[in-house]
């Protein structure tokens, strides 16, 4: 009963279609029919730990131009018993690092969840509302040499903190006293915090922040260049402490792109450098935005003039960038969870971007063929998907609100 209650609360928070004090909507039906090329695929129950120490990925195969037969693949259970996990990252050692919303980062090593956390900052994380907490993790590209990693969390007053930490002499233990705060951003409401962090192929740190909350972006944050809310920020964490502004940032400050509602997850294609941004919608549309490698900054993704590619509020100016994929709440979704472009050892999946919906558990594939984007539902997992992850071999994982981590594998 408690698990159902937690899932109900997080659904309403991630969907974020109403003010925090308004009554929560009923949870959506998890098996709403959507067009799919494969039968629903329920995730397996835990059995025995999975050994992740497989050989390195061979040379990358050609880009997929059609979707695989999803019936030939499954999401294999790796570990469970995590508490509200929201992110999964790798740093090159074969280990996986899983972020728990309450303020912990745990390590999965050789298919087993280590008992002691890698990082415990529960004392400074404020997770008093459903979209608050420890929300994102990114390892420095030179982590093996400098031991630096970065986190995004809500702390005192509900504000967003983007901070750097350092690993201790024990590779399985970070030093919680090593925090260097890069940014503290005031949050007017407890929802739409964003939370994603990732390093680009240019070596800069990218951070996604939501519009600050409530419905309809009441302060116009997403379209204002006077606030970091509703933006993708781009920081040079190597040129100075706590950071420097990259010289080619479009507005002479930290802002790289704007017009976003709640960019919950974004990821660079590790082969091409293209950027995919999943932006959580309000009442009707969930969207995937895209920036090709080498794109200049300054892109306006349209919120709240538009929700997805559809008019929402006000008279939209010219030059807005529409999403490359979207799906409607009428089709059964409520909150998009961005994923990764697959670059692992299964050639059928090479170059396919995978993303999902928190409420339904559906997972889509997205590819570009002859200049046109094609999206297709491939799996019905029957879990609440909070995040995806990718290891150094290019294999893709999903993270479930119920505490499980799963890997896409061939049956």
Q: List the structure tokens of 328.
A: 């409607």
CA 36 vs CA 288, 361, 378, 380: distances in Å: 19, 13, 6, 9
d(CA 362, CA 37): 12
User: Taking the domains of the chain in order of start, what are their residue ranges?
Assistant: 2-410
pLDDT computed for residue 43 by the predictor: 58
pTM (2 d.p.): 0.88
Q: List the structure tokens of 121.
A: 């900052």
Q: List the structure tokens of 129.
A: 């509302």
Q: Which segments within 329-393 are labelled E, that is strand? A: 336-341, 353-357, 362-369, 372-380, 385-390
Specify whether the CB–CB gap between 212 and 238 falls below 8 A. no
pLDDT computed for residue 187 by the predictor: 97
pLDDT computed for residue 87 by the predictor: 98
d(CA 190, CA 127): 9
Matching residue, tokens 């990764």 = 340
d(CA 353, CA 38): 17
Q: List the structure tokens of 18.
A: 């109403």
What is the widest separation between alpha-carbon atoms in the chain? 56
pLDDT computed for residue 308 by the predictor: 97
Q: Which of 286, 290, 267 is nearest to 373 (CA)?
A: 290
Specify whether the CB–CB gap between 197 and 387 falls below 8 A. no
Q: List the structure tokens of 170.
A: 């024990």
Residues 6+ apart with CB under 8 A from 248: 296, 297
Q: How many CA atoms within 13 Å lie on the side-chain side of 197?
A: 28
Matching residue, tokens 């659904």 = 11
d(CA 43, CA 88): 18
Specify whether the CB–CB gap between 99 and 137 falls below 8 A. yes
CA 391 vs CA 181, 236, 341: distances in Å: 27, 24, 12
pLDDT computed for residue 29 by the predictor: 30
Q: Are strands 96-100 and 112-113 parallel, antiparallel or unpaired?
A: unpaired
| Average confidence (pLDDT) per 10 residues, the chain, 411 residues | 39 38 29 38 48 45 90 98 98 98 98 97 96 98 98 97 98 98 97 97 98 96 98 98 98 98 98 98 97 96 97 96 97 94 97 97 96 97 97 98 98 97
Cα 209 from chain centroid (whole Å): 12
Q: List the structure tokens of 354.
A: 């995978």
pLDDT computed for residue 62 by the predictor: 79
130: left (phi over 0), alpha (psi -120 to 50) or beta: alpha
**In degrees, to the nearest 5, what angle opens at C-alpha 106 toward C-alphas 340 and 346?**
30
Specify whether the CB–CB gap between 27 and 359 falls below 8 A. yes
9: three-class secondary structure by DSSP: helix
β-pair partners for 290: 276
pLDDT computed for residue 61 by the predictor: 64
β-pair partners for 100: 85, 104
Radius of gyration of the chain (CA): 20
Q: Is the domain defined by 2-410 classed in CATH 2.20.25.90? A: no
């Amino acid at each position: 009963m408690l698990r159902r209650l937690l899932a109900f609360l997080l659904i309403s928070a991630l969907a974020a279609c109403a003010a925090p004090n308004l009554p929560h909507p009923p949870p959506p039906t998890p098996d709403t029919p959507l067009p799919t090329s494969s039968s629903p695929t329920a995730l397996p129950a835990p059995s025995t730990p999975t050994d992740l120490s497989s050989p390195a990925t061979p040379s990358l195969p050609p880009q997929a131009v059609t979707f695989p037969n999803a019936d030939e693949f499954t999401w294999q259970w790796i570990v469970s018993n995590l508490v509200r996990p929201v992110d999964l990252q790798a740093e090159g050692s074969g280990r996986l690092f899983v972020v728990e919303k309450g303020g912990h980062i745990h390590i999965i090593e050789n298919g087993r969840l280590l008992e002691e956390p890698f990082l415990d900052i529960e004392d400074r994380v404020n997770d008093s509302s459903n979209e608050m907490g420890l929300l994102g993790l990114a390892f420095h590209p030179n982590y093996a040499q400098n031991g630096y990693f970065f986190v995004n969390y809500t702390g005192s007053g509900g504000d967003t903190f983007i901070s750097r930490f350092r690993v201790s002499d024990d590779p399985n233990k970070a030093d919680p006293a090593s925090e260097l705060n890069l940014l503290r951003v005031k949050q007017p409401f407890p929802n739409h915090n964003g939370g994603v962090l990732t390093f680009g192929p240019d070596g800069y740190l990218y951070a996604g922040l939501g519009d600050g909350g409530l419905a309809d972006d009441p302060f116009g944050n997403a379209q204002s260049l006077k606030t970091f809310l509703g933006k993708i920020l781009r920081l040079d964490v190597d040129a100075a402490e706590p950071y420097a502004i990259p010289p080619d940032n479009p507005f002479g400050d930290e802002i790289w792109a704007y017009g976003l509602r709640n960019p919950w997850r974004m990821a660079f294609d590790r082969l091409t450098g293209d950027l995919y941004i999943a932006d959580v919608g309000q009442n009707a549309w969930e969207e995937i935005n895209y920036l090709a490698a080498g794109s200049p900054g300054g892109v306006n993704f349209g919120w709240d003039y538009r929700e997805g590619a559809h008019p929402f509020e006000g008279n939209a100016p010219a030059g807005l960038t529409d999403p490359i994929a979207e799906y409607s709440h009428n089709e059964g979704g409520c909150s998009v969870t961005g994923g990764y472009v697959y670059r692992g050892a299964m050639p059928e999946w090479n170059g396919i971007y995978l993303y999902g919906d928190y409420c339904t558990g559906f997972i889509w594939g997205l590819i570009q063929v002859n200049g046109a984007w094609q999206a297709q539902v491939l799996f019905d997992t029957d879990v609440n998907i909070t995040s995806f992850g990718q290891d150094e071999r290019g294999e893709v994982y999903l993270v479930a609100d119920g505490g499980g981590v799963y890997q896409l594998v061939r049956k």
